[in-house]
């Protein structure tokens, strides 16, 4: 998607419409637009650890995924064993959960848009590892706008 703008009309993951602000961040280059842009986060994070600690105190990096985004149901078709064993699937609706990131290299802690309560303005949740206890999903923000504000994405500079 690098170099091409994503429009609100085609900004979906499965049947779920992406939040307008997410599409705007992608269009402005403040959220990775391609795999290559996303990979650069392994060298230089787009978000400070202080901002990440606002919703995930035990994490220091964040990896924002590039489109196209997909549901956890679709992720399960590629790596179902992981999700069945570690994904706390009884706490979410995989078909209503869109994977938008994680906490960097080696992280298996997904960050997802959760459309269960509001299909037009999804919450943001993350998978929290709690070994030896089962993993659980934790709410990061009630809306994507709140999540983007916490991350300070609108004030980020395009490289």
Range of lowest pLDDT (9-23, 104-118, 124-138):
9-23
**Does residue 71 sit within a domain?**
yes
**Does residue 2 sit within a domain?**
no
Q: How far apart are CA 89 and CA 58, in angstroms?
A: 22
**Does residue 28 sit within a domain?**
yes
98 closest CA partner among 82, 78, 80, 112 = 112
Burial classification of residue 94, based on how many CB atoms lie within 10 Å of its CB (0-12 exposed, 13-18 middle, 19 or more buried): middle
Q: How confident is the model at residue 146 (pLDDT cuts 50, 70, 90)?
A: very high
Q: How far apart are CA 158 and CA 24, in angstroms?
A: 13
Q: How confident is the model at residue 58 (pLDDT cuts 50, 70, 90)?
A: very high
Which run of H or of E encompasses 113? strand 111-114
Q: How far apart are CA 54 and CA 110, in angstroms?
A: 17
**Does residue 82 sit within a domain?**
yes
**Does residue 41 sit within a domain?**
yes
Is residue 157 predicted with pLDDT exceeding 70? no
Q: Which two tokens stand for residue 65?
A: 């995924």
pTM attached to this predicted model:
0.88
**Does residue 147 sit within a domain?**
yes
Domain containing residue 48: 8-155
Q: What pLDDT, in 10s, does the model give residues 88-110? A: 999 999 999 999 999 988 788 99
Number of domains in the chain: 1
**Does residue 127 sit within a domain?**
yes
Is residue 154 predicted with pLDDT exceeding 90? no
**Does residue 131 sit within a domain?**
yes
Q: What pLDDT, in 10s, does the model give residues 13-46? A: 778 999 999 999 999 999 999 999 999 998 888 9
């Amino acid at each position: 998607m690098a170099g091409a703008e994503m429009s609100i009309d085609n900004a979906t993951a499965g049947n779920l419409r992406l939040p307008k602000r997410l599409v705007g961040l992608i269009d402005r280059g403040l959220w990775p637009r391609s795999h290559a842009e996303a990979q650069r986060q392994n060298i230089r994070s787009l978000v400070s650890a202080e901002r990440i600690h606002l919703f995930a105190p035990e994490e220091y990096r964040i990896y924002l995924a590039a489109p196209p985004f997909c549901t956890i149901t679709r992720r399960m078709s590629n790596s179902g064993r992981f999700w069945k064993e570690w994904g706390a699937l009884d706490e979410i609706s995989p078909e209503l959960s869109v994977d938008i990131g994680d906490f960097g290299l080696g992280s298996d802690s997904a960050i997802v848009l959760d459309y269960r309560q509001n299909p037009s303005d999804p919450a943001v949740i993350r998978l929290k590892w709690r070994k030896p206890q089962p993993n659980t999903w934790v709410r990061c923000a009630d809306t994507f706008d709140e999540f983007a504000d916490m991350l300070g994405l609108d004030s980020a500079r395009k490289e």
